[in-house]
Chain A
C-alpha cells in the first residue's frame, strides 16, 4: 500500500481517498432520502384524521434540549478530528467518547418523546400525519443509533491498532456522517417542530 506522507493520514492512500469521495456521494443520496421524507411530511402534515395535530403534541423543551445536545456532539466530533490530525490519540478518543455519550443522550430524549406521543394517542397507526412524523423522526433516530454502534466500533479499533491510515480514514468518514445527521436534525427542528408550533 503506497502511503503519501504529504497528506493527512486519512487521505494518505489511494483507497482512502476513494473511500472519502464515495462517502460524499452516499451523503448526496442521503439528502434525497430525507428530502423524500420531507416531501411526504409537507403533503400529509395537515391530514390528521381523528388524531392530534402537530401543534397539539409538540413541546418546545425536549426539542430544544435534543437540538442543543446534537449540536454540541457535532462540535465535539469536529474537535476529535482536529485532535486526530495533530496526532493526539488520547484527546481524540476522549472527544469521540463525549460525542457518543451525547448521541446516546439525544436518543434517550427522543425515545421519551415517542413514549409521550403514544400516551397522548398519537401512534404510528393513528393518522397519516402521525405516521409520517414518526417515520421521519424514526429514520433520523435509526441513523443515530446505527452511528452509535459504528462510532463505538471505531473507538475500539483505534484503541487496538492506533492511528493508522485505515482507522483515521474510518474516523473521518464517521465524522462526516455525524455532521450530516446534525444538518438533517436542523431541518427537522426548523420545518417540523418550529413550523408546526409557529
Chain B
C-alpha cells in the first residue's frame, strides 16, 4: 500500500496546501494592498512551480531545457502582455 503513496508527492501536496493557507492571510488579516499583492504573487508562482516540477515531471526527459525554456518564455510574454496593457490603460492614461 505504501508504495502507492510516494514521499515526494505527499510532501508536494502538503506544501501546496500550506501555500493556499498562506495566501488566505490576505483575506483574514488586514494587510495593505502592496503587501497583499506581494503575498499573492509569491504564493501563486510558488504553487505553479511546485505543480510543474513535482507533479508534471517537467524535468524528467532530455527535452528538459526546451520544455522549461518554452514555459518560461510564455510566462514572460504573458507578464509583458498583462503589465503592458495595464501600463496603457491604467497607469498611464
Contact = CB atoms under 8 A, between A and B. Distances in A.
B48 A198 contact: no
Nearest to B20: A67
Size bracket of the B interface: 35 or more
Nearest to A17: B61
B40 A194 contact: yes
Given A75-B12, A82-B4, A183-B51, A28 B89 contact: no
A179 interface: yes
Interface in A61-90: 64, 67-68, 71-72, 74-75, 78-79, 82-83, 86, 88
A35, A82, A187, A198: which has the most chain B beta carbons within 10 Å? A198
A176 B55 CA distance: 8
Contact of B74 (A28, A91, A198): A28
Interface of B: 3-6, 9, 12-13, 16-17, 20, 23-24, 26-27, 31, 33, 36-37, 40, 43-44, 47-48, 51-52, 54-56, 58, 61, 63, 66-67, 70-71, 73-75, 77-79, 81-82, 85-86, 89-90
